[in-house]
Structure formats: structure tokens, C-alpha cells
Structure 1
Amino acid sequence: YFVLRVWVTEGLKPGVVACSHHLGRWRLKEDAGGDRWSTGLVDLQEQGPGKWFMRQIHGIEPFKSDDPESERIWWSDAGVHQNLTFPVHPDPISGMHCWHQKVRVEPAQPEDRCGDIFVDTTRAHEVYKEWLKLTRPAPGPGGLRRPLWLQRPLKPVIEAYKIRV
């Protein structure tokens, strides 16, 4: 699970929940790791075999650097990194990772804080194996990695779809 704020917007149909996986940048050390312009500091603890809990220590803060603008940071929200909570779902047709999550939305619990993340990596791996069984082994028909009709924002050349055996 992950805990985040709700943003009500006119851009979504009522009853639809959307969470951008481009938000939620984090780092484990104050002065190392991710870009300090966009990451919050977190504490990551293993609470049992394969069970991980992440809590934000603080969001984005001004910092000293060679760029004087880094001391003028006024924003603090680093977002919530939900990618960790979603198992890999190999698409049955293409085999590539797709976001096929069914989610449940519920109010945060009293002990929850915005930015909290919990993941059971053992269960996530089981889900991955379940979805992997739905895929077809490579190569596909005609020696293809993926169907040529698969829509891509930046479609590679035809040769990139073929597996040489």
C-alpha cells in the first residue's frame, strides 16, 4: 500500500483514480542518491523477510550547492513513489511490463503518514509468476519479440521487433 493526498481535478472521470508513477522521488541519504531538487529523504526498513516499509523523513528542502538557486527552493512535496508497491505484470500479448493493477482506495489509518509505503516483495514475485504464465514464450510468430501492430509512442524500426535465433 501507499499513502498519498487526494487531488480532485476536472481532468478525471468521477470514480476514476489516477496516480502518476513519475512522482515520488526519494533518496536514502541526506547528501547522496537522487537529485535533491526533486527527492525527499526516506527511511527504508525490512520488517520481515520480503516485507519493506518506507517512511518519508522530510520532503524537498533548500540546500547549499554551486547553484545559488538551490537555496531558494520553495516547494517541499516529493510525491509518493508507488511503483514499489506494484508487482511486475508481463502483458500476455507483448510480454512487456504493463500496469495492470486493480486497486482499492480507502481512508488512511490513524498511524499512516503521507508518503508511507509498504510492500511484500515475496507476494509481488508470486504475482509476477502468475502473470508470466499468461504470456507466450519468445520468439512469437515470424520470430517477433512483439506484434508489429503494437502501438508505441516511438515505434522502433521493424528489425528491432525480430529475434535472431
Structure 2
Amino acid sequence: MRVTIELPETIVGDVLQLLDDEYEVFDERNPFDDAVKQLLVGALEARRKVAFTEEEVDALVAVMLQSALKGQNGTTFQTNQIYASATGNQWTKIEPSVRKSIGKRFRAAVEAHAKTADEGDAVITLLARNINNAAVYERSTIPRHELP
């Protein structure tokens, strides 16, 4: 399908500059239409949300828990932060329903881990919820003289 749109000169200039920067010579091998198409495809891909299977969510939560347990005592974090540090991916790229599922499962995993932790083991504790209702966690170590 061919679509015709009117673009401001500044955008056309930016695309031409990009072509000039990316390719040594602007010629028929790198037409303007193809450059615009590649830019649009890249922009759409960057905004596309990622969905996960139940098994992938479970595996992801396990990775997040292990990452959180490796932190320093007193470190506070939110689920989105531990996801980003554990995976290197952006939290906003995940479907909202999957983000909620990850959050709930992470909390359940944190609580299950705390119940089986021994003295001296690292644990994660739910401290509070922020103004956006996001859970705020803290990493600590179970003292040698008390268990949860």
C-alpha cells in the first residue's frame, strides 16, 4: 500500500541527514522511502509490548528473587527496578496484565523464601506501598538470634 503524507521540512532534513550519516552516499540503494519505512518500523518495534507465558513469568520471578537477594542489606527497591536490573529489559515493555502478575508472584515468592530462610540468610521484606500503589521492598539478613 502506498501512503502519501506531508512532512515538515525539518523532518525531511533530519531523515536526509540520517541517511547521510548512516550511508556514505545517498543514492538509489538507500531511497528516502526506505529510510522512512525503517524508521517507522523501528519506532513501532520499540513501543510493542511483550507478553509472557505462565512458565516464563515463573522463571522470571525466580531470576528476580535471586537478583534481589544478592543486593546489599538496607537496599530498597520496587518490582520494576529489580526486573530491569535482573533482566536488562524495560518494565514498560511488558503488557500491564503481565506486570501485575509478575508483581503478585514476586511478592508470593518473597514471602515463601522468608518462611524457609535460615539464620544469616538474605530475605526480602515488603516495606510499604508508594503513592502509585507499587510495592517497596527491602533486602536484609535474618539475624542469628531470631527467625521470622
Q: TM-score, normalised by structure 1?
A: 0.24
Q: Which of the pair has more CA radius of gyration?
A: 2
Q: TM-score, normalised by structure 2?
A: 0.26
